[in-house]
Amino acid sequence: METNRAFRTLLAGILWSLSFTLLAAAEVDPSYQLLMMGPREQFIHRRNARLQQLPPPPQVPQIPGQTHNEIDRFVVARWQEAGLSAATEPPPVGTDPVFLRRVYVDVLGRIPTLEETRRFLDDGEPDKRNRLIDELLGRHDEYADHWTPFWEEAIASNPAPNVGGIPSRGDYQDWIRQHFQKNTPFDLIVAELIDPRMPGHRPSELHDILGKPTQSGFILNQTHTNTIQTAAVVGQVFLGTGMKCASCHDHFENEEWPQSRFLGFGGLFQATDLDQIRCEKRIGGPVAAGFPFEIPGAPTTVPADLEGRLHLAAFMITDPLNPRFSKTLVNRLWRRYLGLGLFEPIDDFRIDTPASHPELLDWLAHDFMTHGYDITHTMRKILNSRTYQLRYDPQLEDRFDTAKRDAPRYCQSPTLRKLTAEQLIDSIRLAAKQSLSSEERLYRVRGTTPLARSLSRPASRNEISTSRPEDTAVVQALELLNGQEYHDLVYQPGGLVQSLIAQSPDRAIPSLYLALLSRDPTFDEQRAIGAYLQPMAGTANPTPEQVGDVLWALMTSAEFQYVH
């Protein structure tokens, strides 16, 4: 009897323990699952749930012939629709040297080294362009170095807490670089920038500016003016929508933006609703805070506290069902790599101005979202397309005129693009030494110089900017002709200059062209430069000044200064 009782007690204990094990192993109810997640996991969970509600993307046209991927099929379909000769006789792709230099500048922000050039040009495999694109996108440090200055200007990152007494938006250089090194999904980057509940969020700080405690940070809301400026920045940079004109009156040119709509959006960035103030005069009471675009299934009530409002704003801005967020990002990539956006201006996304290729824009945005907001995924699509690799042709190059917003664009040629200050100066430094560390790159220099400013690098970042002027001016020509900084960069001793001096002109000139322009010299170029590099009387080799003169001529040429 005692034995049976003991056995039954033991069995009951085993069953009791087993029941808890089975309960633990069972699937957790979704409502509890969400509660147990951290803010980042909740964000991803919400994103994935909303992605399931996306309508299907536009159908990719079935186009036979010379296309590399879906992008090309949309582009060729437009050629067919417009009856262009390109539909049957497509323009040619650029040569290997042109592609090589273009993709290095576009992905890493600098030209290839002599060794990298020779390795690619000597590669006879048909897939070498695809493999090179994968290799460059995998160089996370250099890729991050290239993109950091763009996003610093886009969010007005500034090392000082104030610029001339005006509060700055904080120093985000390392924060940006680390995210691009890790290839953080873009929606998570934006959410972390705005949402106080996200890990890694950097709240604004108070600094003493002229004896007054003043905010510094990306989200500025200490005053009415600070708040509407923050809302305008977020709308421009992440929604591609120019709202700033509606901050103090109804937008004069865009009926989509009455002032009340903008002020409702601005109310998401401070703890209380914004009063209606027109030209610094209060004309009405508070405007109810709310997101300016209709998003299916999104909440219509707004929290009463600042943290809750910023949390909601981050969710709605990055919501997959908010079409402006993803379209703005892929449009920035398209403009970065082909010279003009699918919608222009890139910071004025408006319902009354259709994109040049609306189906392609929709498809790219959908593809970007469904691949985890991975920027490198969309870059890879664009760079591998035949459209990106087309030869530059000034006769086929698209142009945009704000007075003719509806004029068609066909993407038969990339647009000529001037190298940025960072791309040009970093490329010269790399060419001279055949190496370039992250610490040597121009964006690491906090201040600016006359040369960098003449090349359109802003003197300070107290205002956001998502593009730089492409035009040239007399001051730039003077810096390239007579500037001491440019002279010192080009004529610096050692490195490439020293190696070329040690070679005969017949060998040195091809190496020089490969190092600077990624191609061999023509017969006329070889002959003309060979004559100039003949050793002077009493010398066995060309002098450093002679080689420097040739370097200056090539580095100042349009072929070096522009992305073709």
Residue 345, domain extent: 37-92+322-415
Axis-axis angle for helices 114-122, 96-108 (nearest 10): 130
Q: State whether 308 and 346 are in the same domain.
A: no
CA–CA distance from 507 to each of 111, 497, 499, 513, 516 (Å)?
21, 13, 11, 11, 15
Token digits of residue 458: 């802003």
Domain boundary among 415, 444, 479: 415
114: in domain: no
Distance CA 452, CA 466 (A): 17
What is the pLDDT, as a whole number, of residue 6? 54
Q: Is the residue at 54 inside a domain?
A: yes
Is 434 within a domain? yes
Boundary (domain end) residue, out of 296, 318, 340: 318
Tens-binned pLDDT, residue by residue, of the chain (564 aa): 455 555 555 555 554 454 444 444 456 666 667 777 889 999 999 999 999 999 999 999 998 878 999 999 999 999 999 999 999 999 999 999 999 999 999 999 999 999 999 999 999 999 999 999 999 999 999 999 999 999 999 999 998 888 777 888 999 999 999 999 999 999 999 999 999 999 999 999 888 877 888 888 999 999 999 999 999 999 999 999 988 888 888 787 778 888 999 999 999 999 999 999 887 788 888 999 999 999 999 988 999 999 999 999 999 999 999 989 999 999 999 999 999 999 999 999 887 788 999 999 999 999 999 999 999 999 999 999 999 999 999 999 999 998 888 899 999 999 999 999 999 999 999 998 889 999 999 999 988 889 999 999 988 887 889 998 888 788 888 999 889 999 999 888 777 777 777 777 788 899 999 999 999 999 999 999 988 888 765 566 778 888 889 999 999 999 999 998
DSSP 223: S
Predicted confidence at residue 13, as pLDDT, reads: 54
Is residue 444 in a domain? yes
d(CA 409, CA 354) in angstroms, rounded, equals 12
Cβ pair 245, 262 in contact under 8 A = no
Q: Which amino acid is at 307?
A: E
- Under a CB-based contact definition with an 8 Å cutoff, are residues 107 and 136 in contact? yes
- Co-location of 357 and 284 in the same domain: no
What's the domain count of the chain?
3
For 38-74, the DSSP string reads -HHHHHHHHHHHHHTTPPPPPPPP---SS--SHHHHH
The pLDDT, as a whole number, for residue 23 is: 45
332 and 279 within one domain? no
Written as one letter, the residue type at 138 is: G
For residues 216 and 168, is the Cβ–Cβ distance under 8 A? yes
**Are 428 and 411 part of one and the same domain?**
no
Among residues 400, 415, 430, the one where a domain terminates is 415
Q: Are 305 and 378 within one domain?
A: no
User: Does residue 117 sit within a domain?
Assistant: no
220 & 287 share domain: yes
Beta strands in 93-236 (DSSP E): 162-163, 166-167, 205-209, 212-216
Tell me, yes or no, whether 189 and 300 share the same domain: yes
3-state helix, strand, coil in the chain (%, to 5): 55, 5, 40
Question: Does 308 share its domain with 359?
Answer: no
**pLDDT at residue number 499:** 76
Are 291 and 178 within one domain? Answer: yes
What is the pLDDT, as a whole number, of residue 229? 94
Distance (Å, whole) CA 163 – CA 471: 27
Question: Cα-flanking dihedrals φ and ψ of residue 370, to 5°?
Answer: -75, -5
pLDDT at 30: 64
One domain, residues 385 and 403: yes
Position 110 in a domain: no
Q: Residue 218 is encoded by which pair of tokens?
A: 């990306």
Q: How far apart are CA 150 and CA 244, in angstroms?
A: 21
Q: Is residue 281 part of a domain?
A: yes
Structure-token match 């960035």, residue found:
269
Residue 392 in any domain: the answer is yes
Q: Judge if the upstream peptide bond of residue 345 is cis by omega within 30 degrees of 0.
A: yes
Cα–chain-centroid distance for residue 76?
26
User: What does the alpha-carbon distance between residue 158 and residue 446 come to, in Å, rounded to a whole number?
Assistant: 9
CA-to-CA distance for 460 and 469, rounded, in angstroms?
Answer: 15
The answer to whether residues 387 and 523 belong to one domain is: no
Q: What angle do CA 416, 421, 427 make, to 5 degrees?
A: 85
Nearest to residue 243, comparing CAs of 350, 114, 123? 350
Q: What is the pLDDT of residue 309?
A: 96
329 and 289, same domain (yes or no): no
